[in-house]
Amino acid sequence: MKFLRYGPTGAEKPGMLDANGTLRDLSAYMTDLSGDSLNPQNLASLAELEVANLPEVTGTPRIGPCVGGVGKFLAIGLNYADHAAESGMDLPQEPIVFSKATSCIIGPNDDVEIPRGSKSTDWEVELGFVIGKTAKYVTEAEALEYVAGYCVINDISERDFQIRRSGQWIKGKSADTFGPIGPWLVTPDEVGDPQDLALYLDVNGQRRQDGTTRTMHFTVAQIIAHLSQFMSLHPGDVIATGTPPGVGMGMKPPVYLKPGDVMELGVAGLGVQRQQVRAAG
C-alpha cells in the first residue's frame, strides 16, 4: 500500500493511492499518518477496506511529508562504499549516526532554500524508512518487523557548515527545507527487499546520482538493531540510510546548488520528488 499526506502545510490529511493511482481520503479512519497509527498491524487492516469506495481527492493538492509528528529524524553517514571513496573517507566499523532537526522536514515537491551564508549546498538521494512500533534492544533478525514503511528522502547538506564550522554534522544538515520526505510511505509487503532498490538524482535534467541499495555498507535491519541499542525508536521516527556516489562535493571541481536549479530524485517503487531551489529570504 502507498500512503501519503496531502493539503496545506500544517494541515495535511491522510490518504492512500488506489490500484489506479487515484488519491483517496483516509480521514474517516485516522486523523493523521503519525504515531501509533503507523503500527504495521494498523496499516495492514486498511488493506481490508473497499478502497474504491473511499472519497476521491480531486484536483492537484500539495503533497506533504508522508509522515507527521516526527519525533526523531536520524541519518546514517558514509553508508555506501563508493560514496565513502568519493569523499576520501574510510568505511566506518559501526554506523555513523547524526540527527537532522525535524524543523527541516518539508513535502517532496516543496521549494528548497539555500541558507544565508551558504557556500556549498549539496544533494543526497536516500532510502528512508519510518518506525511503526517502539523498538528497544531488538535483534537484526527481528528488526524489519518494526518498519511501518519506506520512502524517498533528500538529505540536503551544507558542506561548509557540516565540515568546517565545528561540532556535529547536524549544523550542515538541518537548515529549513533540508529534509524533503515522500511522496509516499510504502508498506514493506509492497517494497520487498529494501536492499535491492535502485535510486537516482538529477540536477537540471543531468544525472548526478545513480545507485542501488545493494551497495549499502550497513543494511536497514542492521541500522535498526544498532540504533535500538542506544535509544528507543518510536512510531513516526524517520531514518535516512545514506547516499550513493554522485554528490556535488565529490565532483572535480565540486558543484553545488544555486537558485533556480531543479532536483528530481526517486527510489524504485517509492515515487519521485521534484524541488526547485531558491535563496533563503
d(CA 156, CA 73): 13
Please provide residue 85's backbone torsions phi and psi, each rounded to the nearest 5 degrees. -65, -45
In the predicted model, is pLDDT for residue 21 greater than 80? yes
User: pLDDT band at 159, cuts 50/70/90?
Assistant: very high
Mean pLDDT over all residues of the chain?
Answer: 95
65-279 CATH choice from 3.30.460.10, 3.90.245.10, 3.40.367.20, 3.90.850.10: 3.90.850.10
Closest CA to 36 of 241, 234, 264: 234
| Nine-digit cell string for 53 | 469506495
Mean pLDDT of 267-271: 98
Which tens digit of pLDDT belongs to each residue from 80-123? Answer: 987 777 767 788 999 999 999 999 999 999 999 999 999 999 99
Which tens digit of pLDDT belongs to each residue from 70-91? Answer: 999 999 999 998 777 776 778 8
Q: How far is CA 88 from CA 14, 20, 122, 209, 225, in A?
A: 42, 45, 17, 17, 28
pLDDT-above-90 percentage for the chain: 89
Mean pLDDT of 11-39: 96
Using the structure block, give the residue that is written with the C-alpha cell 546548488. Answer: 257
Q: Give the pairing type, strands 206-212 and 13-17.
A: unpaired
Entry pTM: 0.96
Helices (H), the chain: 40-45, 81-86, 159, 170-173, 188-191, 220-227
Question: What count of Cα atoms within 13 Å lies in the side-chain half-sphere of residue 208?
Answer: 26
